[in-house]
Chains A and B, each alone.
Chain A
Amino acid sequence: MQGNSQQQAYDRGTNIFSPDGRLYQVEYAREAIKRGSPSVGIRFESDDEAGVVFVASGRLRSSLQVPDSIEKIHKVDDHVGVASAGHVADARQLVDVARRQAQVERLRFGEDAGIEALTKEITGYIQEYTQAGGARPFGAALLVGGLDADGTPHLFETDPSGTPYEWEAIAIGGNSEKIQGYLEAEYESDTDADGALELAFHALEDASEGGLESEGMSASVISGDGFRSLSNDELHELIDGHDLAADEDDEE
C-alpha cells in the first residue's frame, strides 16, 4: 500500500513534477476541457471593420432548462470579451479576474486595457495554481478577444498551465481538433463580422453530429461598436439561413 501510494503521489493533491518532468494535474485539467462542448474564436480585419467573434455551443440537460443560463461567452469590458470551454465555474472565476483587471488598468492608466496585457494578467493568475501547494489548476481554457486602443483586433487563448497563445482563429473544448482543421482550411482574415460568424458556425456544424441546435448556442461580436451578443432570433436566422440546423430542429 505504501509503495503504491508513493507511485501515485505525482498525480494527487499538490502540483509536483513526475520523475519524467510532467505535471499530471495540469494535463488532467486539459483533459477536463476536452470533455466540454466547444467554443470558437475568430479574428477578422477588413477595410471597414475589425474585431473578434465568439461562437459557443452548450448542452441543454433538459427541455426545461433555460437556455440563457448556459453562460460560455462573457463581456469583460466594452472592448473585450471571453469565451470559455471546460468547467464553467472555474471559467467564471477567471472572467471575474479579467473584469477586475480591466478596471484596474483604466484606473492606473486612464486607457482601455490592452488585450495582450489583460490576457497575461489572467495567465499569471492561472499559473499560480500550478505551483501553489494544495491548489488545483483551473479546469478551463479561455479565449480572450477584443480591440486594442489603436483598433487592432487580438485573439488569445489561455490554457491550464497559464501559457498565453495568440491565434487568428481557434477552437477549444470538445471536438476542437476537427473544428480547428476546418478553420485552418477555410479561414481568411479579410472579412467582416458576418463572414467570421458564418465561418464559425460552419466549422461547428462540420464537426457536429447531424447539425447545430440553436438552443444551446451563443455568439458575440466585439468590434469598434463594442461588445454585442446575438439575440436568439439572430442565432436562429444564421443557423437556419445557412442550413446548419439539426434535422429535428427544423420544425420548431
Chain B
Amino acid sequence: MEGFTSGKGTAESAPEEFKTGTTTVGIVADEGVVLATDRRASLGGRFVSNKDADKIIEVHPSAAITISGSVGAGQTFADQLQAQTSLYETRRGKEMSMQALSTTAANAIRGMRVVPLLGGVDETGGHLYSLDPAGGLMEDTYGSTGSGMQMAYGVLEGEYEDGMSVSEAETAARAAVEAASARDTASGNGAMVARITDDGIEREELSAEEL
C-alpha cells in the first residue's frame, strides 16, 4: 500500500477511508422537508464496504442532515450538532430555529470532509440548506450532493415544483435516488427516506427492489 511505502503523512499516502460515495437529495415541500439517500458506503467508489449505511442523521427534533463524503467526518459533525441543539434547548427552554441551526452547522463544519444537506422545520416552515467544508451555507428549495448528484439533479429539475406536497416531494426524491443508483457505481442498495414536518421526523428504509 502506498500509505506504508511513502512514509509521509500526506493525504495521498493515507490509507483510504470509508466514503459514502453517495447520492443524497432534499426537497422543501408545503408542510415540511423530505430527505432521501441511497444506502451504499464504499472504498474509493469501487468497493462496497457497507450495504446498509445510514446517511440521514437527526440533529434536532425537527431537523436532520444527510451526509456525503467521509463517513467519520459526517458522524462526528452530526454528533456535535446534536450536542449543540440539545444544550441550546436545555439552557433556553426553546428549540433552535432553522436560522440558528444552520448558522451553528456552518460554524461547526469548517475543516471537516463532509458535504451535507440540512433539512428542517420551524415556525417559519420548511428549510433546506447545503453546506460545504469551508463553512459555506446556501439555502435552497431542492438540492443534491454526492457522486450521484448529476443524475439526481436531472430528475429533480424535471420533477420539482413549488408548493408540492410532502408525498409528492417524497416520490420525486425517491426517483432521484433511483436514477442515481442505476448509473453511479458508488450509489445503490436501496434508499432511506425521512419526512420532516411539525410533528417530527419519520424515517423509512427501502430495499433496492422497493425503490
A residues at B contact (CB < 8 Å): 107-111, 114, 116-117, 120, 149
Residue of B nearest to A109 (CB): B100
Query: In this assembly, does B185 line the interface, its C-beta being within 8 Å of a C-beta of chain A?
Result: no
CB proximity to A under 8 Å, residues B59-101: 91-92, 96-97, 99-100
Chain A residue at minimal CB-CB distance from B123 = A150
Interface size on B, residues (CB 8 A): 10
Total inter-chain residue pairs, C-beta < 8 Å: 25
For the complex, what is the distance from the CA of A114 to the CA of B96, rounded to whole Å?
12
- Measured between alpha carbons, how far is A109 from B96 in the docked complex, in Å? 9
Q: A110 to B92, Cβ gap below 8 A? A: no
A108 to B107, CA, bound (A): 7
Q: Within 8 Å CB of A111, what residues of B? A: 97, 99-100, 103
B-to-A contact residues, CB < 8 Å = 91-92, 96-97, 99-100, 102-104, 107
Q: Is the CB of B92 within 8 A of A117?
A: yes
Q: How far is the CA of A123 from the CA of B92 in the complex (A)?
A: 15
Q: List 23 A-B contacts (CB under 8 A).
A: A107-B103, A108-B100, A108-B104, A108-B107, A109-B96, A109-B99, A109-B100, A109-B103, A109-B104, A110-B99, A110-B100, A110-B102, A110-B103, A111-B97, A111-B99, A111-B100, A111-B103, A114-B92, A116-B92, A117-B91, A117-B92, A120-B91, A149-B97
A80-B99 Cα distance, complex, nearest whole Å? 20
Measured between beta carbons, the chain B residues less than 8 angstroms from A110 are 99-100, 102-103
- Bound-complex Cα distance A110 to B103 (A): 6
Of chain A, the residue at the smallest CB distance from B106 is A110
